[in-house]
A and B are shown apart, each in its own frame.
Chain A
Amino acid sequence: MLGYYIRLALKSFARTPGLTALMVAAVGFGIAACIVTLTVYHTMSGNPIWWKDGVLYAVTMDSWDPKSPYDSSHPELPPDQLTYQDAIYLFASDIPSAKTIYTLVGGALSGAPGQTIPLPVNTEATTTDFFRMFDVPFEYGGPWQSEADHGPEPVIVLSRAENDRLFGGADSVGRTILWNNLSFRIVGVLDDWYPRPKFYNLTGGGSGNFGIPEAPFVPFRWSTVLHLGPGGTIDCWGRGPGSSYEQLLGSTCVWISMWVQLPSRAQRERFLDFMNAYWAQQRRQGRFQRPLDNQLWTVSQWLRIHDVVSGDSRLLLELAFAFLAVCLINTAGVLLAKFLRGAPISGVRRALGASRRQILEQHLVEVALLALAGSGLGLLLGALGLRGVQAMYANGYSDYGAAAHFDSHGVFLALALATATAVAAGLYPAWRIGRVSPSEYLKSQ
């Protein structure tokens, strides 16, 4: 029977081609608008490392000014980075199964074969656990050994893009490159890695919350050995950074991020106790004059407090749904009119023995075909729309453009949602025509 219903539906479309095209177009545009806005919203509000939610924690301590909170619009939140002395002290703890501290520093890569001018790079100075904690994939090689975090060995990890640019994409592991005019040995090259948002650095500094992860990566100690000032976001209060690098390291400024891996509840509690003991000891020496607020944040919580979803994204999503609603109401109205116009034909079929249910099924098939056609068009237009958004924001530092990425989850979510609502819109007209008594329409008008 399904094949018969499909043929009936196609005949019905052919009878009013203009109207059918209009309905498909209306549904298509409504779905496309929803795909574009929902994809962006989904990317912005997504957790790119959700499987680590019970395991990874961001470490914060409120070292800020007793006179005023770090963020006046959210006074309960601590600074999202640590001071140098706090980061170094906490990093020494062996309670976590894995731990990492990192900060951005400026630099330049030179000395690659055929390279004429140095390549300025915002460099992530971090520790070896960074890569396995954040599931960073490697194309060649791997992270450096933990000895390099403490010892003098100059090792470096390049991004895929940098390796493509400087070494033509070849396996450069084992070769050397100059970073800030010093010779570093390449131990690894990353595969494509672009978590959206950049959950491990939501300060907005560097390439931004939705920007490409900064690379290359060097061991953290090189930032202090070379006296490199912070290249990302740094916030200070009171006397500020001081007048020398040594004073910067002992200052109130926060510029270092820290994450730990604490898979069990017992470990978490032990680490919190460790932080609190440190806090109490430092407070006796005059630091940490704000109320006790040592916190461990899961990735989800971290994303939520940073509120990375842009207001524009929410606004446009709401508008797109209003548009879809209008399109579907319109489609329901047109379908109702069309089905009622075709009532005499259904009347004849009823007279020939079709049950009410069969009439309903036949019209539902027509609705479903319409919804599918509309979804197909919507998918096409939506993909174009996403490309358009990317192009429009190509140079912008608006997070919206960077989040307009063809993420299959977001797109299919939108598609499924929209198709379901399109079918729902056609339910009433199909039900209505099923209820019509045939004799009414078999008489002459």
Chain B
Amino acid sequence: MSLNVRPILSALSRNRTGAILVALEIAIALAVMVNAAWIVAQRIQQIEAPSGIDARDTFAIGVAPLTSHSDLAAALREDLAYLRSLPGVISVSATSSVPLSRYGQGTSVSKDPGDQAPMTNTRSMEVDAATLDTLGVHIVAGRNFSAMDIRPATKIYYQEYPEVLITQALAHRLFPHGNALGKPIYGGDNTPMTVIGITSNFIPSVPDPNLRGYDVLMFPQVPGHFGVYFCLVRTVPGRTEALLQIAQRHLAVSNPDRIFVLAQTLGFYRQRLDAADRGVVIFLTLVTALILCVTCLGIFGLTAFNVSTRTKQIGTMRAVGARKRDVVAHFLTENAIVLASGVIIGCTLALGVGHWLSDQYQLPRLDLHFLAIGIVGLAVIGQLAAWQPARRAASVSPSVATQTI
């Protein structure tokens, strides 16, 4: 018996409202699923973006003076000497900021001097000769600071540094076409700073998790004149937490003239940075899964309802010669029509929502592969949801056709 679509359509029109409601559910579910998956993909990309630093094996200790008479420079020398003496410590350095955390500085630079030059915002950092080694960052061009380049501790807030290091990302931003090595760059006061080395990219301090970048400007300066310094310590893998505890215990009592402002592994800061993205991923995945469940239940319910109110019609079909297979095909086709209408509306909705989301939240445009996979997936799951009620319909006996109750 060939599949005739007209009886199916007329059967559908008997319970129009139910079918429309399910089609609407399917449309919204498709729009949400596809866009949610797209956003999740973006966030996972951001979570997996490399920090350029060996964050798991590095910890940071932040120190501030207790009184205005504290000798921070001496304290720093003592602390560095102690940390270097610990077994299991690979490299120690002193900086003015902690990468991946909120503690740090920023500034703006340009490649031309003068009042009209457009300024580029960048993070900045005071480093010593060992900082690159401690972070696991390497030199891509030029050279690192040598121990002699590093300016000694000072109380002066602001100095000029004729030689600086920059990351590859900043080099590319300032000099998109050419080599930044050896070129001068200018701060707000128009004194030139020569780029003597370009380093591999790493994430510096991050004041706002939504504005992450790899632009860093590094000054050769012993930190402390902002009222705080940070010791970054790289350890052998697996010993980081333990050495952090040991160091904290010793440093807390070795010098009463100073206080700790922080003592954490960089891994902890990386986790914190990603917390928002992870939360969004979890919420989106959970809600998308629930929407899918609810939609499937809706499809299941609609089909089951149709079957139970049409037992006489099914019996009649079977009595005039339809096979069990044909009954199942009848209901699956009916479901397919509802699915198809839902999917068509859903596609338009998905594209519209995707367009709007990318405007509102500065996302890249929806990748159509996600839409295609969403359509196929929803179609398959939708038919599966209607499978069981359709099979039950097939077991309706033909004798029902002639019953009067």
Contact = CB atoms under 8 A, between A and B. Distances in A.
Contacts of B278: 392
B48 interface: no
Nearest to B274: A396
Contacts of A79: none
Given A323-B291, A330-B295, A330-B298, A180 B67 contact: yes
14 contacts: A118-B259, A231-B227, A243-B158, A247-B157, A316-B283, A320-B287, A325-B28, A329-B28, A330-B301, A337-B301, A393-B276, A396-B275, A401-B279, A445-B405
A296 to B, nearest CB: 27
A226 interface: yes
Interface stretch (B14-22, B89-97, B172-180, B381-389): B14-22
B312 interface: yes
A306 interface: no
Interface string B279-310: 11011100100110011011001100100110
Interface of A: 19, 22, 26, 29, 33, 65, 67-68, 72, 106, 108, 110, 117-118, 120, 180-182, 204, 226-229, 231, 237-244, 247-248, 310-312, 314-316, 319-320, 322-323, 325-327, 329-330, 332-334, 336-337, 340-341, 389, 392-393, 395-398, 400-401, 428, 432, 444-445
B189 A238 contact: yes
A139 to B, nearest CB: 26
Contact of B21 (A67, A231, A336, A398): A336
Interface of B: 17-18, 21-22, 24-25, 28-29, 31-32, 36, 39, 64, 66-68, 102, 115-116, 119, 121, 155-159, 188-189, 207-210, 226-228, 252, 259-261, 268, 271-272, 275-276, 278-280, 282-284, 287, 290-291, 294-295, 297-298, 301-302, 305, 308-309, 312, 357, 360-361, 404-405
B188 A237 contact: yes
Given A108-B259, A319-B36, A330-B294, 7 more contacts: A181-B66, A316-B284, A326-B294, A337-B305, A340-B309, A341-B309, A389-B279
B361 A315 contact: yes
A242 B157 CA distance: 6
Contacts of A310: 276
B357 to A, nearest CB: 8
- Central interface residue in A312, A319, A326, A396, by most chain B CB within 10 Å: A326
Nearest to A253: B157
A411 B67 CA distance: 47
B276 A396 contact: yes
Contacts of B295: 326, 330
Contacts of A334: 298, 301
Contacts of A401: 275, 279
Contacts of A326: 25, 28-29, 32, 291, 294-295
Contacts of A393: 275-276, 279
Contacts, number: 173
Contact of A319 (B29, B115, B283): B283
A242 B115 contact: no
Contacts of B282: 392
A318 to B, nearest CB: 9
A401 B297 CA distance: 33
Given A231-B227, A237-B188, A22 B361 contact: no
A398 to B, nearest CB: 4
B158 A240 contact: yes
A444 B290 CA distance: 40
A398 B308 contact: no
Nearest to B304: A337
Contact of B25 (A106, A330, A336, A397): A330
- Central interface residue in A29, A320, A398, A428, by most chain B CB within 10 Å: A398
B159 A238 contact: no
A248 B157 contact: yes
B301 A315 contact: no
A204 B227 contact: no
Contact of B119 (A29, A68, A228): A68
B384 to A, nearest CB: 18
B360 to A, nearest CB: 8
A394 to B, nearest CB: 9
B271 A395 contact: yes
Nearest to B26: A326
B302 A333 contact: yes
Contacts of A428: 17
Nearest to A338: B305
A243 B208 contact: no
Nearest to B187: A240
Contacts of B297: 22, 26, 330
A319 B226 CA distance: 44
A15 B189 CA distance: 81
A-B complex: 4 closest residue pairs judged by Cβ atoms: A396-B275, A398-B276, A333-B21, A243-B156
A337 B18 contact: yes
B14 to A, nearest CB: 11
A322 B35 CA distance: 12
A341 B280 contact: no
A248 B298 CA distance: 67
B281 to A, nearest CB: 11
Contact of A336 (B17, B29, B308, B361): B17
Nearest to A323: B287
A68 B114 CA distance: 12
Given A26-B294, A334-B301, A398-B275, A120 B268 contact: no
A397 B272 contact: yes
Contacts of B32: 319, 322-323, 326
Contacts of B67: 180-182
A204 B207 contact: yes
